[in-house]
Structure 1
Amino acid sequence: MHALSPWAVTASAELSENPAAIYEQPSAHFHFKVVAISDSIWVQAELPAGGRVSFRAAYSPGADMEVTRSKQHPEGIELELKSAIGKQYLSISIDQREKSPVLRYTTSLIPVKDLMMPSWPKDILFNGKNNNPEQTEGKIHASQFGTRTGFLYLTETRPKSATILYLQNLTALSGYAEQTKTSLGDTVGGQWPELGFSLPPSKEPLKAGKEVILSDAFIAFSEDPVDKEPDMIKQYLDLLARIYLLLPKPGTEYKHWPNILDNGLKDLIDSPGCWSQVAGHKYFNAYVSDYETPPEIMVQLAVLLPLLDYVEWSKKELEVMKTIKAGLPAFYDKKLGTIMRWLPAAEDKLKGEEEQKVPKVMDSWYLHHPLLNLSRLALKGDRTAKKLFLDSLDFAIRVAHHFEYQWPVFYKMDTLEVIKAETAEGKGGEKDVAGIYAHVMLQAWELTGEQRYLNEAGKAAKTLQGLGFEIFYQANNTAFSSGALLRLYKITKNELYLELSYMCLASIFRNVQLWDCNYGYGKHFPKFFSLYPLNDAPYTAVYEEQEVFCAFHDYLKHAEDVDILPSVKLLIAEYIRYLVDRAVYYYPTMLPAKMLEEKPKIGEVDPKIWIALEDLQDGWLKSGTVGQEVYGAGNAFGILPRHYLQIPGLPFMIYTDYPTSGFKARKGKNISFKILGDERISCRMMLVKTASKKIPEFQIYIKGKKEPLKATTVANGNLEYLIPGNSSITIHIYS
């Protein structure tokens, strides 16, 4: 039996009297009915096999709610409500244009007096056919944590009826949060059978006479009560994309990344706080002015590889790359036969103030991430990187076998003694390490052709079965895992690997923030579709975001000859689009000084240099609390080469905020490429001038369209176009 709140008991009693419907709308597998009781407006959804769920679309404490006006429209109904607390406006619609219907209800309030909001009921009640919530059961697959998307993904199991994805558009509630000085984190959740969103208790009052939105909920329904993991994962991705298409989304603005990169490159090279020197070699600090922590190999390579992307794109030489490469061999321990996390010559600086800040202690993913980057260098012909990579592989395999592909959080490299087994009690270790390990093994197989490495990749990948949304330990490693699993599928044709790839992606999209924090300091930077670095992190972080961004680009390219889910193409492309828009706000130079932490945990924050903050926080908290992240410097160097297409001999570049593929351009010839993503959403394409010369005569066509595209002239004489995703573009140059 489930314990119920007084709200649920009262609602069940009144709903059991079967109040007359204000509005009804049937669908193929569901039936929707809007009813009024003394304190609430409910949308009741009749589910297959006798299930029922009710959504409290409007509420007023007391028993005096009155419908004063109603107006039906093709997809729903508009209601005007009156009660002691003020006037409410409620819009209810049911979108049935696709297989999964989507219910949306939006409620606003004009308070009659200044109101303190001490508590508020949840807006979902599973109450069964007989309005008896205690006789229902269900499984919550995933839900909001912290300031991530305000969502619930669940299946009703008693009766076995349906699956729903509930998403509260928290962007719309920023006005409430701003007035009441509350956060919208952890506002969606609950215990069966009472779930959903409830307003956070106010610290300051809502002002009389000022309209404020109290709820903007989207609910997608599926008649399939999933119980198998692969089906559950695919359904989540499809339902999320279904809601995403209907969700109000903030606009984006063009950011001139060539200038941003130049600023970042100068400060990365010239700022003394970015560097330390050990045994005659210069190394990047992890954080600006962090001279206490010895150099880490992950940090050096996390900057070097994006710099390499930029050098290959620009055809320039950067002396700083030689400096970084010169110091890499010193990280190799000949006795253990592997690269080390901490520079051995400086390990004596470690003071043990944290579990991992001890000589020879390895954070499990820290071994594999540098190996992955070394393999990328090796595949490009770097001999030093190839030797370091190949010479470390046997150690990495020995560790994998020792832990049976289930890595702890920290272990000793010389003894393999476990220092910290689990991220939290009962949660296991770093579960996505098996995926990045598989990626490393695939790189080794590609480099050497040795079958044992491919075998290792497959064995590690299979251990990920059954992890579901719990696979996510660290965002970038989960993203690398998704790509490795897709590659394994392409090599072996084993569907299991494609299903596991989707599982990684679903876990990533479960850890994003599909809302904009427009309250407090959040008004100064966009946050829509940002990604959290760890499954329990309270902030978003630049390093993990830019690596996921790069991994997603690679994923779509590997998937071009694979029939992947349309929802995957859509969500990946949209994450990339919004990252390109908002990543510049990780630089403290773009933020007001009042919102920057003056005493960060590590090093110091210099608001005048273009080195990104590690962290952007909830709107009521200062950002940069961890420090200014030197190893997040790859931000601009990852974006520029992937979103600016250069045309030999012509005075402009092509910019798109969606990923592209198949770019072909020869002087005096047509230019062609494909914009990836989903045709149901459009992206920005621009011709960005690179010289004062006039852009030659041209016409731009989308494959399948007879008429050329028309441009909008924007700043600096650049030309802008709106292009559907999944489009083939041809540019005809006439002079």
Structure 2
Amino acid sequence: MQAESVIPYSLDITFYKLKMIKMHTVTPWSATAQADIENSEILWEKKILSYTYQFYNTGDSLWIVVVMPDNGKIAFRAAFAMNSCFEVTNLFEDQDTIIVVLNSRLGTYEVRVDFTSAEVPVLHYTTSFTANVPLLMPFWPRDIIPLTQSGNIANTAGTIHMEQFGSRSGLLFASITKPQTGSFFYFQNLTSLSEYCEATETESKNTVGGSWPEIGFQLPTTDKLPLPAGKAFTISNAYVVLHNEIFEQTTIICEHFLNNLVTIYKLLEQPRIEYHNWPEIAQKVVSDLKNNKGSWTQKQGLPYLNAYLCDYETPPESMVQLAVLAPFKEYEKWSGEKQPICEDLTKGLPAFYDEKINCINRWLPSMVDKLDESEEQKTEMVMDSWYLHHPLMNLARLALRGDKTAEKLVLDSIEYAIRTAHHFNYEWPVFYNMETLEVIKKETAPGAGGERDVPGAYAHLMLLLFKLTKEKRYLHEAEKAAKKLEGLGLNILYQANNTAFAAGALLELFKITNKKLYLDLSYTCLTGLFKNIQLYDCRYGFGKNYTNFFSIFPLNDAPYIAAYEEMEVYAALSEYIVQAEDVEILPALRTLIPEFIKYAVGRIAYYYPAMLPLDMISEKVKTGEVQADLWIPLEDLYNGWEKSGQVGQEVYGAGMAFGVVPRQYIKIGDEFLLFVDYPIIHQSKRGNTVSIKLDGNKDLNCNLKIIKIKNSSIKMKVLQDKQTQKPFTANANIHEYKISGQGTVKIQW
């Protein structure tokens, strides 16, 4: 009897342990949450569409429970009383808004809940807190937990498709797979948290995420300054889009992510657009490049741009010369004036051709003896994979505009690039030896793979060569590389500008081949970009000194935004929306891309240190030096409490103004300029009429300005889709209009 009783008991313990291993661990602030909710009375209940919303006061938390159409449940903690208990002092309903006022021993809370009338169900709750005494808050629980029909939340399962990293948007997109509840897209508007962060000297980065099943937003904990008493601070401003389905396929996840982001974007209070005189900035950049010796190095009588201001130790790089030359040539054409610097830079390009490999090299071959090997890539013949293709892209662009020096260099180099692609089977490592093709560094991190989006950049290069030569082998190369992006899923982005080029190349391949795979992969690239943005305005610390809404980070894990990469994303996405004119792309992209362009044009001027207060510029610089009065951009801008310019002042970002002016300004003789901050799809001039086509969201606005250059008075008529537009501001020098983001605009005089 004893033996018979021991065996089942032992098996039972083993089974119990196995069950415990599969279950998630939880903290005390969630362990009893489901039981607390089930044992509490419903404060308020309402059904909207097929979703039921229930409010519960469980003592230390106010919960909003969403009952899904199939009876699955998700709970959102709208308020947390810390070590106190809530007393509901008021609850009232005004149409689609519910306001709950809560008192605790520590302070007063007001929770405002809105149910928007969007096409998909959106829950929006905002919580403010007024402390009775100054408070340090060392802990705060996350605000989302999945609920079960019966049992323990630790026995749930789900997939987090994406979440906030660093200072990016405070979003979380997840599917609840056990029980089969559905999916939700959560967005915390971190702009609203700025006053709290300023008062407590905290930051809003890494606030949305968590470990299953405790996920969502976690209020930054205070360890420096207490939250002041007697003032209401917004401590949460959350939007939730709900879905019945569970998403698994990358294409479906990407489509819903982009759609959800637009749904939330339209509900956000967006910051004011700032205008900067980019033609004037471009002239300042030209002057500083001409006159400041810190930008240049001489070799054999030829001038070369330094990568960073006053960095004379590092040899010149081909990427740096071409990163400035390519947009500078665009500006030269726009201005109608020859730019001597363009001629100087062009003369120096052939010296980068390295006969050892029959290709242009990253470093000027005659100066490789100056490489100090302080970094892996600062070694002779060591190539960072994307650095091979980037200069070749710009050479191809220049060649397409008729530059014979660039055409010879790119055609002489392209066979090496193709041979390298074949050697690596279109999957590039991080670093390799250019002569032997030996891999020096295979992966960005263990298990993360190499530079994942380089196949897309290579495809873009091949399509440029296809346009230049009409040889179909380049088209075939582009397709072979593009197919390597399949299967990377949401981890496709390595470096934002290369991912943007990849998106454009994939769109072109779709237009040429009509293969939907390429359009889907293009959306995956764009998802990688838009999940890497900062869709809020940081108004605390040094971040309050400049507009940072809709910034994009250069890498998945970069702690700062970067001038050159942002400029290239801006240029690539401007071209994307032009190329998409005759393609039925996702409607969400006709909102996100033009809006990104609009904010980029108003925002990236703050990379110039002359636009910033001196106290937010770092005294310590990694490379070269910073001259704050110089119109050369800082590489790195931080928001929050970190100073900017820690990396240096990047000369290779000097083409920023040269890229903006030709894309956003139209010259009308020598008398006037037209400025539009949306991508211009087409422009034409007939007689005394300029026509501009826009292809964004018709329900959103962009800015049109008529700017006087000389002494003529502004006597112009603006029509959009045949409707006369009135300026919202008009004086002798400028007339400003708000126009729809979609339609044809005519300016007549």
Give the shorter-chain TM-score range.
over 0.9
Q: What are the ranges of 5 or more consecutive residues in structure 2 without an aligned counterpart?
A: 1-22
Structure 1 residue matching 2:92: 3-state secondary structure:
strand
Partner of 2:719: 701
Q: How does 1:166-181 map to 2 (within 5 A)?
A: 166-181=186-201
Q: Residues of 1 paired with 2:731 and 2:422: CA distance?
A: 57
Computed over aligned residues only, the root mean square deviation of the Cα atoms, in angstroms, reads 1.3
Q: Equivalent of 2:237, from 212, 216, 220? A: 216
1:143 to 158, 163, 168: 163
Query: Deviation digits for residues 101-138 of structure 1, max 9, x if unmatched?
Result: 11111111111000101110000011123363123211
Where does 1:196-345 land on structure 2 (aligned, <5 Å)? 196-202=216-222, 203-345=224-366
**TM-score under structure 2 length normalisation:** 0.95
Structure 1 match to 2:677: 657
Q: Report deviation, 1:715.
A: 6.4
Aligned residue in 1 for 2:13: none
Q: Which residue type is aligned with residue 456 of structure 1?
A: E
Per the alignment, residue 620 of structure 1 pairs with: 641
- Partner Cα separation in structure 2 for residue 311 and residue 46 of structure 1: 61
Counterpart selection for 2:710 from 662, 686, 691: 691
Q: What's 1:678 paired with?
A: 697
Residue 335 of structure 1: how far off its partner (Å): 2.6
Shift of 1:714: 4.8
Determine if the alignment matches structure 1 residue 126 to structure 2 residue 142.
Answer: no
Counterpart in the other structure of 2:421: 400
Question: Which of 25, 48, 55 pairs up with 1:26?
Answer: 48
CA distance in structure 1 between the partners assigned to 2:410 and 2:562 by the alignment: 28
Residues 714 and 732 of structure 2 are in contact (CA less than 8 Å); yes or no, is this contact kept in structure 1?
A: no
CA contact (8 A) 1:274 1:288 kept: yes
CA distance in 1, matches of 2:497, 2:626: 24
> In the aligned structure 1, how far is the partner of 2:151 from the partner of 2:413?
63
2:15 matched to which residue of 1? none
Alignment-derived partner of residue 510 in structure 2: 489
Alpha-carbon distance in structure 1 between the residues aligned to 2:578 and 2:78? 43
Q: Is the 8 A contact 2:577 2:681 kept in 1?
A: no
Matched residues in 2 for 1:213 and 1:702: separation?
Answer: 40
Aligned residues with identical type, % of pairs: 47
- What CA distance in whole angstroms lies between the structure 1 residues aligned with 2:101 and 2:664? 47
- Range moving further from structure 2, 44-53 or 614-623: 44-53
| SS class of match (2:745) | strand
Partner residue in 1 for 2:741:
725
Alpha-carbon contact 1:648-1:665 (below 8 Å) kept: no
TM-score (norm 1): 0.97
Aligned to 2:27: 5
Q: Secondary structure at the match of 2:554?
A: coil
Aligned pairs, number:
726
- Taking structure 1 as reference, are residues 607 and 265 closer, same or farther at Cα in structure 2, changes over 3 Å only? same
- In the alignment, the residues of structure 1 paired with residue 48 and residue 40 of structure 2 have an alpha-carbon distance, to the nearest angstrom, of 17
Distance of 1:640 and 1:715 partners within structure 2? 23
Shift of 1:608: 1.1
For 1:612-632, what per-residue CA distance to the aligned partner results, in whole angstroms no more than 9, with x for missing partners?
000001321110000001011
Residue 636 (structure 1) aligned with residue 657 (structure 2): yes
* Equivalent residue for 1:17, pick from 36, 39, 63: 39
Does structure 2 conserve the Cα–Cα contact (< 8 Å) formed by 1:279 and 1:345?
A: no
Q: Which moved more, 1:597-606 or 1:33-42?
A: 33-42
The amino acid of 2:203's aligned partner reads S
Comparing 535-544 and 41-50, the one that deviates more:
41-50
What residue number does 1:192 align with?
A: 212
CA contact (8 A) 1:542 1:614 kept: yes
Identify the residue that residue 379 of structure 1 maps to in structure 2. Answer: 400
Q: Which amino acid aligns with 1:724?
A: S
Q: Is the contact made by 1:23 and 1:77 (CA closer than 8 Å) also made in structure 2?
A: no
Q: 1:715 to 1:701 in 2, by over 3 A?
A: closer
Q: 2:505 corresponds to which letter in structure 1? A: A
Question: Which piece of structure 1 moves more, 17-26 or 71-80?
Answer: 17-26
**Preserved CA contact (<8 Å) 1:123 1:194:** yes
Alpha carbons 1:662, 1:673 under 8 Å: kept: yes
Indicate the SS of the match to 2:572. Answer: helix
Query: Residues of 2 paired with 1:709 and 1:646: CA distance?
Result: 21
Secondary structure class of the residue paired with 2:181: strand
In the other structure, the counterpart of 1:154 is 174
Contact 2:42/2:54 (8 A) holds in 1: no
The answer to whether the Cα contact below 8 Å between 1:233 and 1:468 also exists between their aligned partners in 2 is: no
**Alpha carbons 1:469, 1:510 under 8 Å: kept:** no
**SS of residue matched to 1:487:** helix
Match of 2:16 in 1: none
Please tell me whether Structure 1 or Structure 2 has the larger radius of gyration of its CA atoms: 2
State the Cα distance separating 1:71 from its structure 2 match.
1.8
Determine the structure 1 residue equivalent to 2:528: 507
Cα deviation, residue 731, structure 1: 2.4
Match runs of 1:29-44 below 5 Å: 30-44=51-65
Structure 2 counterpart of 1:599, which letter? K
Cα deviation per residue 1:528-571 (whole Å; 9 max; x = unaligned)? 11011111110000000011000011001100000111111111
Q: Is the 8 A contact 1:257 1:640 kept in 2?
A: yes
Q: What are the Cα deviations for residues 150-179 of structure 1, in whole angstroms up to 9, with x where unaligned?
A: 111111112333221111111100111111
Q: Distance in 2 between matches of 1:51 and 1:144?
A: 25
Q: CA deviation at 1:315?
A: 1.0
Aligned match of 1:102: 122
Instruction: After TM superposition, give the deviation of residue 716 of structure 1 in Å.
Output: 5.7
| 2-structure distance, mates of 1:270, 1:164 | 55
Residue 520 (1) aligns with residue 541 (2): yes
1:404-436 CA deviation, whole Å, 9 max, x = no partner? 111111110001111111111111110000000
Asked if 1:535 corresponds to 2:535, the answer is no
Matched, 1:604 2:652: no
Q: Distance in 2 between matches of 1:218 and 1:716?
A: 44
**How much does 1:24 deviate?**
1.7
- In the superposition, relative to structure 1, how do residues 129 and 21 fare at CA in structure 2: closer, same or farther (>3 Å)? farther
The answer (yes or no) to whether the contact 1:183–1:618 under 8 Å persists in 2 is no
- 715 and 612 in structure 1: CA distance in 2 versus 1, 3 angstrom threshold: farther
Q: Tell me how far apart the structure 2 counterparts of residues 273 and 714 of structure 1 sit (CA, whole Å).
A: 42
Q: SS of the residue aligned with 1:452?
A: helix
Mapped pair 1:546 → 2:537: no
CA distance in 2, matches of 1:62, 1:200: 17
Contact 1:411 1:419 in 2 (8 A): yes
Question: How far off its partner does 1:657 sit?
Answer: 1.2
The one-letter code sitting in structure 1 at the alignment partner of 2:37 is L
Q: Is the partner of 1:342 in helix, strand or coil? A: coil
Instruction: Look up the SS of the partner of 1:515 in the other structure.
Output: coil
User: In structure 1, how many angstroms separate the alpha carbons of the residues matched to 2:61 and 2:412?
Assistant: 68
Q: Per-residue displacement from partner, 1:653-691 (whole Å, max 9, x unpaired)?
A: 2111111122112343x2211123111211111111111
CA distance in 2, matches of 1:598, 1:182: 22
Check whether the contact 1:22–1:36 (CA below 8 A) recurs between aligned residues: no
Distance (whole Å) between structure 2 residues aligned to residue 286 and residue 330 of structure 1: 17
Aligned AA for 1:713?
A: T
Residues 38 and 65, structure 1, Cα contact 8 Å, conserved in 2: yes
Q: Deviations over 1:477-523 (max 9, x none)?
A: 00000000000000000000000001000000111111111111111
* Counterpart-to-counterpart distance in 1, 2:652 and 2:180: 49
Question: Helix, strand or coil: the match of 1:189?
Answer: strand
| Aligned residue number for residue 648 of structure 1 | 669
Aligned match of 1:76: 97
SS in 2 for 1:49: coil
* Equivalent position amino acid for 1:45 in 2: V
Find the aligned partners of 2:730 and 2:446 in 1 and give their Cα distance: 55
